[in-house]
Amino acid sequence: MLISNSESLVAQISAIEFREFDLDNGLHVILHKDNTNPIVSVDIWYHVGAKDEDPGRTGFAHLFEHMMFQGSKNVGKTDHFNYIQNAGGTLNGTTNQDRTNYFETAPSNQLELLLWLESDRMATLQVTQENFDNQREVVKEEKRQRYDNVPYGSRWGEMMKRLFKGQTYEWIPIGSMEDLNSADLNYAQEFYRKYYSPDNAVVVVSGDIDYDETASLVKKYFGDIKPANTIKNKYAKIIFNQGEVKDVIYDNVQLPAVYIGYKIPGTTDKDIQALEILSMILGDGRSSRIYKDIVYENKSAKSAGSFIWDNEIGGMFIVYATGFKDTNPDSLISRLTSIVNSITTEHVNDTELEKTKNALENDHINRMQTIMGKADMLASYWTFHKNTSLINTHIDEFLSVSKEDILNAAKKYLSSNNRVVLTYLPNKDKKIN
């Protein structure tokens, strides 16, 4: 048993204790005990996401996530929900580019029920044509509700389509209507067989538990599930500095907006911490450079900022602004660009750096408030870094970033030939040719 107890710079929060081990079938198990409240969370991450979809099958990892709630050998359609709600629990699942997770929180005396349900669908999911067709329609409505019928709702899909053209991350998890319509049951069964196996998953149990008892329960329910030994698709390389791409998109919007995306490396790259800090100094909150300049002093935008969106093997550094009705979007783009450029030529100042580290420390501590928050962090550090103890030490890597590191990262990634610039304009501005 590995017990992590490393000293951290953040001396005021005690280290998160956990235990982890592997089952023979390759399932990784992480347990974290927190007896504060009589509740428990189970959080399973399957290491499969939109980037594992085959061409012409976009949206499939997410559609499949819906199928996981449609019943298994010993659990009828909708019974998964019924069992958990009957136990006084809450549940959901989410799909992103790199992983699909399933999680529930319930009173701690219901732990075994949660493990039974999760293991039953890992081992014996029942995918029927009727349920598949029903969930396909549900997902299409989800796409309409969250993307197609929302002002600026297409922005990240449009951004990634251009920024990652011909590379991994070219599409977003919701996929295209065309691909959703052509998705078929055989592919679903194949997808399940390939990716929904213990050797492609981590189970985290967090909350009011006993370590030994929980370890044997997890073993009892998951120990006999066979591994798939899948060889995953190869991920196309992320290529930087491919030249600037600029485009205009007309949408059902009232206000012009600009979205600038720079390509950055993956989650585990050494530059990521510097880029995170950089994005906060540039555009996180009312005392950030972009906000103070564009929104506050020059009153040229209603809102503006920046953030990073990192994925496993490559991500985006986003700079954005929403204008007023009569704002000229080109002037927004050039103003944003000059603020970004200023950070690639000179060091940030000490105050900005210290402020950002204080904010990171604050966020880190607040994430430790809930058992599910901790479960997700543990799962993430294992899945992407294969190093669970980063839950206690990762913050130190952020706190030790220097001004030099930031300048280097800015120079490396924030040049105009490494970006896509999208301008959103109201439909009514469309020139009729």
Q: Least Å distance between CB 433 and other proteins?
A: 20
Copy the structure tokens of residue 176.
């295209």
CB-CB contact of 64 with 188 (8 Å):
yes
- Closer residue to other proteins in complex, CB, 78/402: 78
DSSP string, 66-111: HHTTS-BTTB-TTHHHHHHHHTT-EEEEEE-SS-EEEEEEEEGGGH
Q: Least Å distance between CB 78 and other proteins?
A: 6
What's the first-to-final CA gap in the chain, in angstroms? 70
- Among 346, 355, 247, smallest CA distance to 292 is for 355
- Closer residue to other proteins in complex, CB, 73/237: 73
Q: Which residue has the tokens 């977003």?
A: 172
- Closer residue to other proteins in complex, CB, 97/214: 214
- Among 56, 139, 89, 50, smallest CA distance to 371 is for 89
**Separation between Cα atoms, residue 280 and residue 33, nearest integer Å:** 33
Q: Least Å distance between CB 72 and other proteins?
A: 9
Determine the 3-state secondary structure of 226 from DSSP.
coil
CB-CB contact of 101 with 200 (8 Å):
no
Q: Least Å distance between CB 111 and other proteins?
A: 8
- Closer residue to other proteins in complex, CB, 2/239: 2
Q: Least Å distance between CB 388 and other proteins?
A: 10
Q: Least Å distance between CB 302 and other proteins?
A: 4
Q: Which residues contact 29 (CB under 8 A, 6 or more apart)?
A: 20, 21, 22, 23, 202, 203, 204, 205, 215, 218, 222
How far from chain centre, in Å, is Cα 208?
Answer: 27
Q: Least Å distance between CB 163 and other proteins?
A: 25
Q: With 0-12 CB in 10 A as exposed, 13-18 as middle and 19+ as buried, what is 412?
A: middle
- Closer residue to other proteins in complex, CB, 12/345: 12
For residue 283, the one-letter residue type is G
- Closer residue to other proteins in complex, CB, 81/239: 81
- Closer residue to other proteins in complex, CB, 334/358: 358
